[in-house]
């Protein structure tokens, strides 16, 4: 069973768009749904935040370079949602890059490519 929206909640929906053959068109559409009791200043703030999130998807699709600025935020969210999997993926990435980190210590391997002095 999916999430049941609370009466004072606003949700942003993201839906992939498929063509008549059932193939994904590489498009995503957004929608917004409201609980039965969204009102007042808090309700207005929630609706405004949902509109901003929905508009952000369209903005990013038109300005893909903005994704670089969002990476840090996305990584923070992934780390919070999936701490074990995030740590494992980070370790695999570091290993593939040719170095490992331990706090502020970076250990290079024989195949690590560097610029300048290392």
pLDDT tens digit at each of 118 positions of the chain: 789 999 999 999 999 999 999 999 998 999 999 999 999 999 999 999 999 999 998 898 899 899 889 988 999 999 999 999 998 988 887 777 666 677 777 776 655 556 666 5
Alpha-carbon gap, residue 41 to 50, rounded angstroms: 14
Task: Please report the pLDDT score of residue 76 as a whole number.
Answer: 93
Query: Residue 91: its pLDDT value, please?
Result: 80
Q: List the one residue out of 62, 2, 61 whose CA is nearest residue 33.
A: 2
Residue 55, pLDDT score: 93
pTM given for the model: 0.65
Structural domain boundaries in the chain: 1-62, 66-113
Distance CA(78)–CA(88), nearest Å, equals 12
Q: What is the pLDDT of residues 12-43, one digit of tens each?
A: 999 999 999 999 999 899 999 999 999 999 99
Tokens of 58: 């369209």
């Amino acid at each position: 069973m999916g999430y049941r929206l609370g009466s004072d909640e606003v949700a942003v929906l993201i839906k992939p768009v498929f063509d008549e053959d059932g193939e994904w068109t590489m498009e995503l559409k957004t929608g917004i749904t409201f609980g039965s009791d969204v009102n007042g200043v808090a309700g207005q703030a929630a609706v405004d935040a949902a509109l901003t999130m929905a508009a952000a998807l369209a903005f990013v699709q038109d300005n893909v370079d903005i994704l670089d600025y969002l990476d840090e935020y996305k990584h923070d969210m992934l780390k919070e949602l999936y701490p074990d999997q995030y740590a494992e993926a980070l370790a695999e990435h570091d290993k593939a890059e040719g170095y490992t980190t331990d706090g502020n210590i970076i250990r290079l391997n024989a195949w690590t490519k560097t610029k300048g002095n290392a």
